Chain A
Amino acid sequence: MNMKRIGLALGMILAAGFTATSASADTVLKLWMTGVGVDKYMADIVPAFEKANPGIKVQATNLSWTSYQQKILTGMTAGDGPDVFSFYSVDTAPWAAQKVLAELDGKFDANAFIPNALANGQWNGKTYSLPVGLRMRPLFYRADTLKAAGFDRPPATWDELRSYASKLVKKDAAGNIERVGFWVPTNHPYKTPQVWLTFLWNAGGEVFSPDGKKALFNSPAGVEATQFLADLVRKDKVDVPGAIKIDNVDFAQGRVAMLVSNIVTRDLLKNHPALKDHVGIAMVPGNKAQYIELSGDMVGIAGNSKNPDAAAKLLNFIVANPEIALKYYAIDRTLPTLKALADSDFAKGDPWIPTYLKFMDKARPLPAHPKWTEISSLITKAIDSVVLQGVPAKEALDKAAAAADEILAR
């Protein structure tokens, strides 16, 4: 009797499941996007996409910046990952090399994007992800502090940077630092190597050889850049390692006068509107060259997506539709990626976007190399040993480059 009842119940469940499956002939896409506030953004755009694309349903999941890599990789390994997902541009090359990302060439209109915006999604001459929000790393300065010290413009060269920082640093009677002149980030997995990177480029150096098979960052330019940053701390004492932890808060509260950061894209003006007239952005001071680092939030299609065509529609809806792209900007104040937005009233009305866009032709993406993250950890260790322990820059970088060459040969 009991067995009969159980059998009947199981039969009904199966029948219900079968009916449900057969009724939903829709293509179902899984969209995983990363960041704070992105859940509301997805709740806003997904219905609009489904309305414009009958027959495609989207299941949205919000990931956090601290764990998106684990979630996406384990999800895909288990065959239960996303079709379309967002991530940071540093992952493009390694994920392209591992087929986590599908190739996108031919699936989007490159002309819709502002020049250089696509560079962060490319590896080995092919495109694997498209930008949804860019983050540039210029020199931020407290215009009020600079003015009080007698400077009417930001520093443009390394010599100027050094003399400005030496004047702007403020110490109490006991010698404790009250305001950092220029922030030299140490012991941070990405801020340390990314700030250093612009100084390396501006000294005329490169991280890798053009074929990507050899480390070049221990070149004289690499040594010069690293020693310059170390001297700011060790000789000029414009910064004390560890003084600055949360760069946007420290900057807003006046604990640092100048820094290279992408903080404006993380709500600086939204949280501190009074700062608008007291802060400025400029190109990172140059030496033999003058570049600026550009990275950002990217969207790609999973290499193992079973619905690549529908996924491409969703991807284009997110990144190439100006109206939708604006909604992403509204969450996190990232920079516009589309030509249509660069000339829009929204961009012209923003206090800083026109300045950012002027820097765009000098912008360079993070090294598009599958081993960059691993090698950047060696670079961070080398920078830490030079800045914190006084190891000669040449010695530390030679050691790191030798280890990097082993990784590249693997």
Chain B
Amino acid sequence: MPARSTFRIPPGLLFVLPVMVIFLVVRVIPSLAALYISFTDFGGVRAPNWVGLANFQALAADPVFRQALFNTIVYTIGVAVPSTLIGLAVALLLNTSILLRGFFRTMFFLPAVVSFVSIAVIWSYVLNAQFGILNYVLSLFGLAKVPWLDSTTFALPSLIFIGVWKNIGYTTTIYLAAIQAIPQELHEAATVDGGHALQRFRDITWPLLRPVTAFVMLMTSIVAFQAFDQVLVLTGGGPAEASTTVVLETYRAAFQFLRFGYASAMAFALALVIGIFSYLLIRSANRRERAA
């Protein structure tokens, strides 16, 4: 009887192997390829030439990239902070026994499941300066028409507003689940001790939701950093680049200007910014948690 091999692949590894392989093939390898391309003059089809750090140097001197990065950071903060705060407020409301609670929960979550392109097209009609419904409503109150998407002042704030509107369903859902996981006994004990609603929120709900807040902020920020569809459809990054974002410029550099090397450098610069931001956010959340 031949000796059986004692080597066994751990079952856990077998379970995750398919995902690992897919992750390697569709994420890791393309990312490494893009990293290589960022050091070349690749134009899309012809063999690339190595250019060293030239793309990154050009990026540092590019006013369009600087504008796009600035807009992206403003957009991210503008979307992530209100989405988180409003999501928390709505979740607290929906956690009470209000009328039609199920209906409201569905309504708030609806924007989160619709494609951003469809949403953007609908908003473009709502926000049309002359014939849009929003300006019509404003005119009923005697207010002047606002060129929401066609002015350098309002284009980015309009995009931020739509971004917040779309995110609230997601942030509300996460918060609602977290709020419902807080043991009821804590609230009961605080109530017995005479704590009113605001005190209970400040001393129980808010501290216990801190890890969830960090998570929600992180996820909404990462998505906001990559704003693309809505910008392309609603403003095209204009007017005069007032609402352009890094991902939009990356797309244009690659597929419209055939500068894949430069576009890859732009993508990695953004990845670096997101990495630093995420690290700072997680570190600050961990510190606060330890302090608490």
Interface residues of A (CB under 8 A from B): 69-70, 73, 76-77, 94-95, 98-100, 174, 176-177, 186-189, 240-243, 245, 255, 303-304, 370-371, 373-374, 377, 380-381, 384-385, 388-389, 403
Contacts and interface: CB of A to CB of B under 8 A. Distances in A.
Contacts of B147: 240-242
B226 interface: no
Given A77-B44, A388-B150, A176 B257 contact: no
A70 B145 CA distance: 38
Nearest to A192: B238
Contacts of A242: 128-130, 147-151
Contact of A186 (B43, B139, B239, B255): B239
A240 B149 CA distance: 12
Interface string B243-256: 00000000010011
Contact of B46 (A94, A98, A188): A98
B121 to A, nearest CB: 11
B236 interface: yes
Contacts of B139: 174, 176
B124 interface: yes
B129 A243 contact: yes
B258 A98 contact: yes
A299 to B, nearest CB: 18
A179 B147 CA distance: 16
Interface residues of B, number: 29
Given A73-B44, A99-B45, A187 B130 contact: no
B124 A245 contact: yes
Contacts of B239: 186-187, 241, 384-385, 388
Contacts of B236: 187-189
Nearest to A76: B45
4 closest cross-chain pairs (CB), A and B:
A242-B150, A242-B129, A187-B238, A243-B130
Interface of B: 43-46, 63, 124, 128-131, 139, 145, 147-152, 235-236, 238-241, 252, 255-258
Nearest to B252: A377
A245 B128 contact: yes
Contact of B150 (A70, A177, A186, A371): A186
Contacts of A243: 128-131
Contacts of A255: 130-131
A142 to B, nearest CB: 17
Contacts of B131: 243, 255
A374 B256 contact: yes
| Interface hub of B129, B130, B149 (most chain A Cβ within 10 A) | B130
Contacts of B255: 69-70, 73
A177 B131 CA distance: 9
Nearest to A373: B256
Nearest to B149: A242
Given A176-B130, A243-B131, A377-B252, A388 B151 contact: yes
15 contacts: A98-B44, A99-B45, A188-B236, A188-B238, A240-B129, A242-B128, A242-B130, A243-B129, A243-B130, A373-B257, A374-B257, A384-B239, A384-B240, A388-B239, A389-B152
Given A73-B255, A240-B129, A176 B238 contact: no
